[in-house]
Structure 1
Amino acid sequence: MTMTASARKQEFENHKLAKRLRRQVGQAIADFGMIEEGDKVMVCLSGGKDSHTLLDILLQLKARAPVEFELVAVNLDQKQPGFPEEVLPAYLRALGVDFTILEQDTYSVVQRVVPEGKTQCSLCSRLRRGALYTHAVEQGFTKIALGHHRDDLAATFLMNLFFHAKLASMPPKLLSDDGRHVVIRPLAYCRESDIARYAEQRGFPIIPCNLCGSQPNLQRKQAERLLAEWDRATPGRVDQIVRALGDVRPSQLADRSLFDFHALGRRSQAALPDTHAWLAGEPTARDEEEGVPVPIRSTTTQADDGLSILSG
Structure 2
Amino acid sequence: MNISAPPLSDLPAPRRKHEADKLAKRLRHQVGKAIADFGMIEDGDRVMVCLSGGKDSYTMLDVLLQLRKKAPVDFSITAVNLDQKQPGFPEHVLPEYLRSIGVDFHILEQDTYSVVSRVIPEGKTMCSLCSRLRRGALYGYAEQHGFTKIALGHHRDDLVNTFFLNLFFHAKLSGMPPKLLSDDGKHVVIRPLAYVREDDIEAYAEAKGFPIIPCNLCGSQENLQRKQVKKMLAQWENETPGRIETMARALGDIRPSQLSDPKLFDFLALGRRGDAALPDAHAWLAGAPAAPEPVAMALHPVRNHDGLDILKS
Short-chain TM bin:
0.7 to 0.9
Say whether 1:7 aligns with 2:17: no
For residues 125-155 of structure 1, what are the alpha-carbon distances to aligned partners after superposition, in whole Å with 9 as ceiling and x for unaligned?
0000000000000110000000000000000
Say whether 1:246 aligns with 2:283: no
Say whether 1:273 aligns with 2:269: no
Residue 7 of structure 1, CA deviation: 2.2
Provide the residue aligned with 2:206 in structure 1. Answer: 200
Residue 102 of structure 1, CA deviation: 0.4
Say whether 1:18 aligns with 2:51: no
Q: Under a length normalisation based on structure 1, what TM-score does the superposition of the two structures give?
A: 0.88
Which residue identity does 2:227 align to in structure 1?
K
Runs of 4+ displaced beyond 4 Å: none
CA distance, structure 2, for counterparts of residue 213 and residue 156 of structure 1: 18
CA distance, structure 2, for counterparts of residue 40 and residue 176 of structure 1: 17
Provide the residue aligned with 2:71 in structure 1. Answer: 65
Q: Under a length normalisation based on structure 2, what TM-score does the superposition of the two structures give?
A: 0.88
Q: Which runs of 5+ in 2 are unaligned?
A: 1-10, 289-313
Greater helix fraction, Structure 1 or Structure 2: 1
For residues 158-199 of structure 1, what are the alpha-carbon distances to aligned partners after superposition, in whole Å with 9 as ceiling and x for unaligned?
000000000001000010000000000000000000000000
CA distance, structure 1, for counterparts of residue 155 and residue 277 of structure 2: 48
CA distance, structure 1, for counterparts of residue 133 and residue 54 of structure 2: 19
Provide the residue aligned with 1:136 in structure 2. Answer: 142
Provide the residue aligned with 1:56 in structure 2. Answer: 62
CA distance, structure 2, for counterparts of residue 10 and residue 119 of structure 1: 40
Provide the residue aligned with 1:216 in structure 2. Answer: 222
Which residue identity does 2:152 align to in structure 1?
L
Which aligned pairs between 1:33-182 and structure 2 lie closer than 5 A?
33-182=39-188
Provide the residue aligned with 2:6 in structure 1. Answer: none
Residue 251 of structure 1, CA deviation: 0.4
Residue 213 of structure 1, CA deviation: 2.6
CA distance, structure 1, for counterparts of residue 230 and residue 145 of structure 2: 35
Deviates more, 1:265-274 or 1:138-147: 265-274
CA distance, structure 1, for counterparts of residue 50 and residue 140 of structure 2: 13
For residues 223-268 of structure 1, what are the alpha-carbon distances to aligned partners after superposition, in whole Å with 9 as ceiling and x for unaligned?
1101111111001110111111100010000001001101001111
CA distance, structure 1, for counterparts of residue 14 and residue 95 of structure 2: 33
Q: Which runs of 5+ in 1 are unaligned?
A: 283-312
CA distance, structure 2, for counterparts of residue 29 and residue 156 of structure 1: 21
For residues 90-125 of structure 1, what are the alpha-carbon distances to aligned partners after superposition, in whole Å with 9 as ceiling and x for unaligned?
000011000000000000000000011110000000
How large is the RMSD of aligned CA atoms in angstroms? 1.0
Provide the residue aligned with 1:261 in structure 2. Answer: 267
Which residue identity does 2:81 align to in structure 1?
N
CA distance, structure 2, for counterparts of residue 67 and residue 212 of structure 1: 39
Secondary structure at 2:48's aligned position in 1? Answer: strand
Q: How many residues align?
A: 278
Secondary structure at 1:151's aligned position in 2? Answer: helix
Residue 280 of structure 1, CA deviation: 1.6
Secondary structure at 1:227's aligned position in 2? Answer: helix
CA distance, structure 2, for counterparts of residue 140 and residue 276 of structure 1: 52
